[in-house]
Every structure is written in structure tokens, then in C-alpha cells.
Amino acid sequence: MSAIIEIRDLCKTYGKGETCVHALRGITLSVQPGGFLAVMGPSGSGKTTLMNILGCIDTQTRGDYIFAGTDVRRLSNQAKVYLRNRRIGFIFQSFYLLPTLTARQNIELPMVYSGIPPKERHKKSSELLEMTGLASRANHLPSELSGGQRQRVAIARALVNNPSLILADEPTGNLDSRTGADIMRMLVDLNKAGATIVLITHERSVADNAKELIVLKDGCVVEKVS
Amino acid sequence: MRFSDYVSIAVHQLKKNRLRTMLTVLGIMIGIASMITVISVGGGGQQMINDELLKFGINRIWLFSNDLRGPNKLLTLVDAQMLQKVRGVKDVAPSAYEKAYLSRGGTKLIADVVGTTEALFVMEQMGYLEGHGLTKKDIDYVRQVVVLSEEAKDQLFGSGTAVGNKVSINGQKFTVVGVEKEDQSIYSSFFSGKCYIPISTFNLMFSNRHVDEISVTAQNTDVLDGVVDDCVSLLLKKYGEGSIKIINLTQELQNAQNILDIFKTVVSAVAAISLLVGGIGIMNIMLVTVKERTREIGIRKALGAGEHHILGQFLAEALFYALLGGFLGIALGVLLTRLAGDILGIKTEVSIAAATLSVLFSATVGIVFGLMPAYKASKLSPVEALRHE
């Protein structure tokens, strides 16, 4: 089976000349379908940069990123938008829900951009609200939800278009340990059900949920466990 | 993304910031309202002037003798009869004027006595407070009858009835057959304090076979030019080059129109400036909105919004501001138009065309001024937008 993520010698630099910052210095890794990779490292090690590139919202300076057999560098903006919308689900540390939309509307947002009719959106979001245990909170605004509930809304939103890859950037970072454990259990269950997950964290206990682990430091992979 | 999604996002945003929305919309609203008002009131004014002139007669010409030795040396009743035969002529009314003493009992006043025929009463669509105008028989039988102006009647009879009573003109007894109702026509206000008697009686009384003017109406505006040419050439042939002077209201109409056009242009320019300012207001608020919602744009892009989605979203918002302003402006404009119509005493009507035009205009303003902020939003890099606090 071919890998979902295949990156080779990936580099990312910000700025030019003397102020140039090397965020990633030649990273090579691959994730198979159904894989669960945790990326660890202290802040400033390049974790988020890596995730942004994997999520096609940022572009590498050098190296290759092959997503499900496609060289992302060769893709048009339009095609990347399509990937973000249909093939990739994002989960962020600070949830990134739109504050003026209800839980349901937030979950339905990616479907809005896929052009799915409102009826279908409603059906799908109902399923996901049920699955994440938020059925009774569907019409609440994010500000009326607890941190754990918000993150569950974000997870539901990431799943709504049945993506091939879920990218989770410190999903438990803003949660207390018990709620964090709940969220992790959810991700593990998703992985068991077949979802491919890349998880970014700086906590070993969180990373232990994954099947594989890499540790970044100063933009390089310093440890690899599988 | 569906059309309804753009609409619902825009409405949602506009509802969330009611005060901001209202203030932003205000500029466009004032611009559109003033545009509507100007067009409607201007149109109403134009219609009023047209009506007035029509009543007095834009199909009407006045012929005078151009003789400087005296005003009433040339034209006669024979000329009037001759002109009646010209093709395209509807009515011909000869008139002669004299000042005379008009009296009843102890009341005496100096009035303009107009000697004329029944045609004048038809031409000017005269209304009557009492009785009627002069008839053909009055002229044919040289009757001693008179139609008084409202003012003359008031002075001689007060609130009493005038018809059937006698008045004297330079000592001769005349029976009152009618009282002219003076309307508020702007072109007739300077002709008051007068009375009308049959031209035949007039000629006899003042020993004068001439008339001062002959007014001719054409059957319609299209044949007016031909009628003017024919009448003038007939009279010139009879009396010689340069003997006849002609007046008609086409020039008056043109003047009135020119004044209105200038007025309209000036106020439209003000309205256009106000729309421009309104448009800049929209652009300003859209730029602020894009800045405020940078994070939101980042999130939307990460979730799969394309540049065209973001562009469309913000353009829709700008368009909504403008259209909301447009519709409120139409409402305010209709209100102002009614108010202005009442105050000025003009019959005004808001034209569908003006309303449609203003909606199109405001939509254009919205799109033009929304384009730059929306484009800016669509080009934001998702990573940087997400990082934005």
C-alpha cells in the first residue's frame, strides 16, 4: 500500500540573508494509511511548520511532499484548496471555531465550501454531533461551551468531509488532563476505525497514544520510535 | 459554496454589528434619497411647468403688429377670419384692449376691457364662478354683455351675485353674463382686474376696427411650425416685410427646462458626491472588517475556502451594505419627495426607473468599493491569517 504522506528532505526557511530562520532542516518521513504518527518537540522545534506544510496551508522551501501519490508542489492553489477541504481535517490547539457560529454551523462549515446542499449538511452534522456527544449543544455558540466541548466540535468539523488525513496540532494543549484524555481517547478510536492521524504534542503521555513517534529539535528529527 | 450561503453570511455579519451597519449604510442612504428626491421633484416641477404652459398653450402663438407708430394699426377681424382657414389651425381669437371705467352704483374702477370672441374662452379653458363665457351670438348680434374677472366682480358686487345685473363701461350699460374663475396659473396672474366684451361691441364702442393681437392655436404640436410659417407669411404678404411680430411659448418652455436642468445637475452632483463618500465609507468599514476577521479568514481557508469564496463573501457583505442603503434611501427618498411635493405644491411621482437606477447605482458602488478589501482578504496567506491575533 502506498503511503498517504511521503516527505523527503523537507526544508523550510523564513526570511532572507542574515535574519533567515531555518524552521525545518531536511526532514524525511512517511505515514501509511491507518497510521498514527505523533510529532514531539519543544516549542520552536518546527512542529507547527511541519503541520502547516502537511496541511497544504504553507509551502516548503526545499524537498518533496507527496500526498497520496501527488506531488503537492505541483498542485495549483485550487487543487490545494480542494485537498484541504476534502482530504484533510484540521484540529487546532485553540480550537479555531468561528465565535459567531453555533456548534452545528461550525461543524457544517467545510461542507459549505464543498457545495453540499443544506439538507445533507444538516444530516451529516447531526450524525457527528451525536457521535461526539454534543447533540444537546448543537445550537450553542462556542463561548457557551466548555473547552472539551469546543474541541469535540473541532474534531467533528475535521471529520465532516471524511478526510484521508487528520492533522491535530496540540489538541489537548488547552484542556485539563481529564478532558485531554477524553479527547485523546476519541482520536485513538478514530484511528482504530481507520483514520490516518498526525498528532503534534509536547507531552510524552499524549504522544504515547500514537503508533509511531518522531521528536524534532531545531528543525531536525532527533529521535524516531515505531 | 451556494448563493444562499453568501447571503446568510452577509446578513449574519450585518446583523451582528447593527450600529456599524446603520452608520455605514447612512452615506449611501442619503445619497440615494437625495437622488430620488431630485429626480422626482424635478420631474414633478417639469410636469407642472409643462401643464401650465399647455393650459396657456404651447400650441398657441400670438401675432402682433410690429408697427412702432401704434400698437393697433394693422391687424383686423378680417385677418382673424383669414387665419382661421390656414391648414392645421384649430382656433383663432382676436383681442383688442382698452382701459375704461367700470362702474356699478357708487363703485368705480379702472379696468382693462378686452374685446374678443368666444374662441378665447375655449382656448384658455376658462372656468367660471358664475354664468358662462361670451358666445358666438353675443359677437354676431353686437350684444352689450360682459364677462367680469373675479377681482372686478369682487370689487363691484362683493359676495353678491353678478350674473344678470348691469354694470357700466364708460357709461354704457352691460349685462353681466359670467364671472371668470381665476386659477393660480403662474402665467395668468398678471391679467386680473379686467372684463371681456364682444369684439364687435368693442369696435363700435371705441370706434376702432383694429385688434391688438390675434392668437392662434394649432391642432397639435407637430403642425405648430407649419401653422406659424403659414400665418406669418400670409400676414407679411398683406402688410409687408417686418410688419408682424410673433410670440409663442416654445422658448418659454425651453427656458424653464434649462433652469430645471441646471438645478437637477447641481443637486445630482451633490447626490453623486454623497454616494462617493458613502462608497468610501463602505470601503473603509470593509477594510476594518477584513483586519478584524483575519483569523476567521485563516480558519475558513484552512477548512477549504478558496480565494473566490473569500472574495465572494466580502463582496457580498459590501454589496449588502450598499443595497441596504439603496433600499432605505429609496424609502427616505419617497418620503422626502412627498414632503417636498406637499410643501411646494407640486404633484410628484417617484418613477420606477429612478428607483431601479438607484438600486443599480448603489449595487455598483458596493461592488466597486468592496472589491479592494475583498481582494485583500482573498489573498491573505492562511498561515499568517491563522497566526493573526
Structure confidence at residue B25 (pLDDT): 92
Label residue B69 by pLDDT band (50, 70, 90): low
Interchain pair B383, A114: CB under 8 A: no
C-alpha cell belonging to residue B382 = 492562511
Structure confidence at residue B355 (pLDDT): 86
Q: What is the mean pLDDT of residues B15-32?
A: 90
Interchain pair B304, A110: CB under 8 A: yes
Structure confidence at residue B187 (pLDDT): 46
How many helices and strands (H and E) does chain B possess?
Answer: 13, 10
Identify the CA nearest to A24 among candidates A43, A50, A57. A50
C-alpha cell belonging to residue A114 = 464543498
Closest Cα in chain B, distance from residue A80 (Å)? 8
Interchain pair B303, A114: CB under 8 A: no
* Spatial separation of the C-alpha atoms in residues B324 and B17, rounded to whole Å: 14
Label residue B240 by pLDDT band (50, 70, 90): confident
Structure confidence at residue B71 (pLDDT): 52
DSSP string, B181-225: E----TTTTT--SEEEEEHHHHHHHTT--B-SEEEEEESSHHHHH
Query: Residue A174: is its pLDDT beyond 90?
Result: no
Residues in chain A: 226
Using CB atoms within 10 A of its CB, is residue B189 exposed (0-12), middle (13-18) or buried (19+)?
exposed
Task: Print the domain residue range for A184.
Answer: 33-59+86-225
In this structure, are strands B60-65 and B244-248 parallel, antiparallel, or unpaired? Answer: antiparallel
Closest Cα in chain A, distance from residue B259 (Å)? 54
Percent of chain A with pLDDT over 70: 100
* Spatial separation of the C-alpha atoms in residues A223 and A215, rounded to whole Å: 5
* Spatial separation of the C-alpha atoms in residues B258 and B249, rounded to whole Å: 14
Which residue in the block uniquely carries the three cell numbers 476519541? A186
Identify the CA nearest to B163 among candidates B182, B145, B177, B144. B177
Q: Which residues of B touch A58 (CB under 8 A)?
A: 381-383
Cα dihedral B172→B173→B175→B176 (10° resolution) = 70
Which residue in the block uniquely carries the three cell numbers 362702474? B103
The amino acid present at B119, given as its one-letter code, is A
C-alpha cell belonging to residue B228 = 406659424
Interchain pair A98, B2: CB under 8 A: no
Interchain pair B302, A57: CB under 8 A: yes
| Mutation for B interface: A12, A85, A97, A143, most B CBs within 10 A | A85
| Mutation for A interface: B7, B296, B303, B379, most A CBs within 10 A | B303
In this structure, are strands A62-67 and A70-71 parallel, antiparallel, or unpaired? Answer: antiparallel
Q: What pairs with residue B175 in β-bridges?
A: B145, B166
Structure confidence at residue A167 (pLDDT): 95
Structure confidence at residue B193 (pLDDT): 64
| Terminal alpha carbon distance of chain B | 27
Q: In what order do the strands lie in the sheet with A220-225?
A: A88-91, A165-169, A196-200, A36-40, A212-217, A220-225
In this structure, are strands B166-169 and B89-104 parallel, antiparallel, or unpaired? Answer: antiparallel
Interchain pair B302, A110: CB under 8 A: no
Interchain pair B304, A86: CB under 8 A: yes
Q: Does A157 reach chain B within 8 Å, measured CB to CB?
A: yes
The residue extents of the domains of chain B are 3-52+254-387, 59-248
Alpha-helical (H) ranges within chain A are 47-54, 77-82, 103-114, 118-131, 147-159, 177-192, 204-207
Q: What is the mean pLDDT of residues B332-354?
A: 86
Structural domain includes residue A155: yes
C-alpha cell belonging to residue B19 = 450600529
More confident residue, B311 or B225: B311
C-alpha cell belonging to residue B143 = 350684444
Interchain pair A85, B304: CB under 8 A: yes
Q: How many domains does chain A have?
A: 1
CATH number for A175: 3.40.50.300
Give the residue from chain B lying closest to A107, CA to CA: B303
* CB-closest option in A96, A113, A161 to B305: A113
Q: Does A138 reach chain B within 8 Å, measured CB to CB?
A: no
C-alpha cell belonging to residue A175 = 484542556
Q: What is the mean pLDDT of residues B343-369?
A: 86
Structure confidence at residue B58 (pLDDT): 73
Q: E strands within chain B?
A: 60-65, 89-104, 107-116, 127-131, 145-148, 166-169, 172-181, 194-198, 213-218, 244-248
More confident residue, B361 or A11: A11
* CB-closest option in B16, B302, B383 to A84: B302
Give the residue from chain B lying closest to A163, CA to CA: B303
Structure confidence at residue A97 (pLDDT): 95
Query: Residue A160: is its pLDDT beyond 90?
Result: yes
Residues in chain B: 389
CA–chain centroid gap for B180, Å, is: 26
* Spatial separation of the C-alpha atoms in residues B324 and A208, rounded to whole Å: 56
Q: What is the mean pLDDT of residues B294-319?
A: 94
Beta-carbon count within 10 A of B188 CB: 16
Q: Flag whether the ipTM exceeds 0.85.
A: yes
Structural domain includes residue A14: no
Percent of chain B with pLDDT over 90: 36
Label residue B70 by pLDDT band (50, 70, 90): low
Structure confidence at residue B48 (pLDDT): 79
Structural domain includes residue A221: yes
Closest Cα in chain B, distance from residue A220 (Å)? 21
Mean residue pLDDT of chain B comes to 86
Beta-carbon count within 10 A of B330 CB: 22
Interchain pair A96, B302: CB under 8 A: yes
Label residue B252 by pLDDT band (50, 70, 90): confident
The answer to whether the beta carbons of residues B269 and B127 sit under 8 Å apart is no
Interchain pair B299, A96: CB under 8 A: yes
Cα→Cα distances B374→A36, B29, B361, Å: 39, 22, 19
Label residue B186 by pLDDT band (50, 70, 90): very low
Structure confidence at residue A128 (pLDDT): 94
Closest Cα in chain B, distance from residue A114 (Å)? 6
